[in-house]
Amino acid sequence: MNTKLTRITVALTALCGIAAVQAAGDEPIQPIKPPANINLGMAELGKKLYFDPRLSKSGFISCNSCHNLSMGGTDNLPTSIGDKWQQGPINAPTVLNSSLNVAQFWDGRAADLKEQAGGPIANPGEMAFSHTLAVGVLESIPGYVREFKQVFGKDKIDIEQVTAAIAEFEKTLVTPNSRFDQWLLGKKDALTKDELEGYKLFKDSGCVACHHGEAVGGTSFQKMGLVEPYKTTAAAQGRADVTKKDADRMMFKVPTLRNVELTYPYFHDGAYWTLKEAVDIMGRLQLGKKFSEQENAKIVAFLKTLTGDQPNFQLPILPPSSDQTPRPTPFGK
């Protein structure tokens, strides 16, 4: 083997890789990175908790009920179904790539995934339990007691451990390797002519002012209805529900556009079911622009290239309840 030639080949390969990364860095959207620095034991425990309906009063609702990992990390409903078939007040945002968000929930009331994980458990309109009762259920299950001690090194389970484990699992739910990411990283035949023209329209029209970065969104709060008011019957008022400031009315976290073809219906009220409608609404209300049918179709074609590799793992086998485990009350008062 020609050692000198091998060295030149390696050097050229490295330079090409650097050039591809630099080219990606010139774009307002960056490739999704695979998860890093994950505590595997904690994430595996969190996976079980994510799928375990025993954290709800009914014994029927789990995190995966509203953030279904077979459905783009959401439930494909305008608003989610809670305890006793209650209708939720807002569309369930996708859990995929949620670790890249500036904050959690549409109104940003949770600072991070750990804080978010505790919310639905104690929400009477969602899982309708309490943190104390949820911990009591887990402490009654020998398999969980052993695993919590193994992961956290403590004799007692608490809600901080529960939410930390769920958050650690959710950090693994990133979706790299979309066709658009492949294009960013140098595979120039990854996109069609219409998809590339759609991306150019997306940039030139100003969509990237809010939808940029790895998650193509999720990094800021913006007013829904900048140019024209957004008409909705939903009660949610965005950041104003948290800050109680009128200036924050209709200020919502910009949703990620990663996997957006999977996460219908769209917007905080789940009022629109197609990407064509969503692009039209956003163009008119946020940008003051009416896209032609052809322009709309090209932007939609681009958006579909943002679907990445979906989470792929073996479903966890949950530890069985014991004789002491409190029984669920799916129909009780």
pLDDT of residue 333: 62
**In terms of domains, do 250 and 143 share one?**
no
Q: What is the residue range of 201's domain? A: 179-306
**In terms of domains, do 57 and 162 share one?**
yes
Residues (pLDDT < 70) of the chain are: 1-25, 332-333
CA neighbor of 96 nearest in space, from 114, 118, 78, 74:
74
DSSP 17-51: HHHHHHHHHTSSS-PPPPP-S--HHHHHHHHHHHH
> In angstroms, rounded to a whole number, what is the distance separating the alpha carbons of residues 316 and 111?
28
CB 129 within 8 A of CB 329: no
**In terms of domains, do 203 and 292 share one?**
yes
**In terms of domains, do 47 and 140 share one?**
yes
CATH of the domain at 108: 1.10.760.10
Tokens 């050097």: give the residue: 11
Which tokens is 312 given?
Answer: 């792929």
44: annotated active-site residue: no
Q: Is residue 266 part of a domain?
A: yes
CB 257 within 8 A of CB 64: no
Q: Tens digits of per-residue pLDDT, 285-330?
A: 999 999 999 999 999 999 999 999 999 999 999 999 999 999 999 9
Q: How far does Cα 322 stand from its chain's mean position?
A: 34
Domain total for the chain?
2
> In angstroms, rounded to a whole number, what is the distance separating the alpha carbons of residues 195 and 154?
52
Which residue in 27, 44, 115, 126 is the catalytic one? 126
CA atoms 209, 241, 79, 318: torsion sign? positive
Q: What 3-state DSSP class applies to 242?
A: helix
Reported as type and span, the H/E element at residue 252 is strand 251-253
Rounded to the nearest 5 degrees, what angle is found at the Cα of 229, between the Cα atoms of 272 and 107? 70
pLDDT of residue 14: 45
Q: Is residue 284 part of a domain?
A: yes
**In terms of domains, do 297 and 183 share one?**
yes
Question: pTM for the complete prediction?
Answer: 0.90
Q: Is residue 11 part of a domain?
A: no
Which tokens is 171 given?
Answer: 């950090």
CB 118 within 8 A of CB 129: no
**In terms of domains, do 55 and 151 share one?**
yes
**In terms of domains, do 299 and 197 share one?**
yes
**In terms of domains, do 162 and 281 share one?**
no
